[in-house]
Amino acid sequence: MDDVHFKIAEAARMAGVSASTLRLWETQELIQPVRTPSGQRLYDLALVERLKTIAWLRSEKGLNPAAIRESLREDVSPTVADEVGEILDEDDTETSDIAVGQKVRRLRRDAGKTLEAVAQATGVSVSQLSTFERTSYGLSFTALHTVASYLGTTVANLSGQEQGDGGESLIRDGKWPTWPTTSSGVTIQVLAEGRNQMECNRFQLAPGASSEGAYQHEGEEFMHVLSGSLEIILDGDRFFELNAGDSFYFESRRPHSWHNTSDGETVLIWINTPATF
């Protein structure tokens, strides 16, 4: 996998930005893709992760190019980051306000696992895990699900959706609690709070947003597209194109992946039952 390279359009889609944005970042000395003899730009997996980090620093932190360059230079090694994590854990409290990355670090340490052990078991690199534990960003939707499953939890639990005792849940229009942003271009809003049998969410997918790979878990899923279009792939070879007004049901144990196929934002209602996502 380390030898995999992506063309500029593919890399841009994975980072949730446009190809012209990647060219701009290159002129701003934020990235330096590999060039073929013909001048074609190629991006390896490590550079794609850097692109995602840059996109997050720009959109979520509002940093300018100079500040982003400085932030990237200050990135510490996994070993040092793990030591820093020990200090941060001492100050954490048992509340939903703890960052997702810190929750992952705590679960990993409580399980007695090193970064290297988790990386080997999940296929996620040590540097990616280290970055995520410190910034809560840098893992794809699929990778975060894999790490959560390995650590005996769910993405919903890490994101605070399962807080509360269940029962009644009333959320007014436009007042949906939002999961912490961890993946480029994917916004997940909660439609029913508490420890329920169903995880009811509203997904907003930016152009190019995707799961970045297939994942699976126990349960059943239902989705209804409100706007835009979505392609979902089951078992690696069954393709379904969903447009506004379309609904789709499938068993969660089947490997599934998805991506926004519209030129604009895609919005859908997505329900998982039981709460295993």
**How far apart are the C-alpha atoms of 136 and 152, rounded to whole Å?**
18
Residue ending a domain, choose from 39, 56, 73: 73
Q: Is 184 left (phi over 0), alpha (psi -120 to 50) or beta?
A: beta
pLDDT above 80 (res 160)? no
pLDDT digits (tens, 9 = 90+) for 3-21: 578 899 988 888 888 989 9
Per-residue confidence (pLDDT) for residue 133, from 0 to 100: 84
Which residues touch 102 (CB under 8 Å, ≥6 apart)?
A: 85, 88, 89, 92, 133, 136
Residue 213 has pLDDT above 80, yes or no: yes
Is residue 60 domain-shared with residue 83, that is, in the same domain?
no
| Residue appearing with tokens 């295993």 | 276
**Domain range for 102:** 78-139
What is the CATH classification number for the domain harbouring 60? 1.10.1660.10
User: Which helix (H) or strand (E) is 266 found in, with range?
Assistant: strand 266-273
- Under the banding of pLDDT at 50, 70 and 90, the label for residue 74 is low
Residue 259 half-sphere exposure toward CB, CA atoms < 13 A: 17
Tokens of 270: 């997505």
Which pLDDT does position 90 carry in this prediction? Answer: 45
What is the domain count for the chain?
3
Cα–Cα distance, 153 to 110 (Å, whole number): 13
Residue 243, classed as helix, strand or coil, is strand
Across the range 150-173, mean pLDDT stands at: 76
Domain final position from 19, 39, 73:
73
To the nearest 10 degrees (0 to 180), the angle between helices 115-122 and 126-135 is 120
Query: Residue 202: which CATH number?
Result: 2.60.120.10
- Please tell me the pTM assigned to this model: 0.58
Mean pLDDT of the chain: 82
**Final residue belonging to a domain, choices 51, 73, 95:** 73
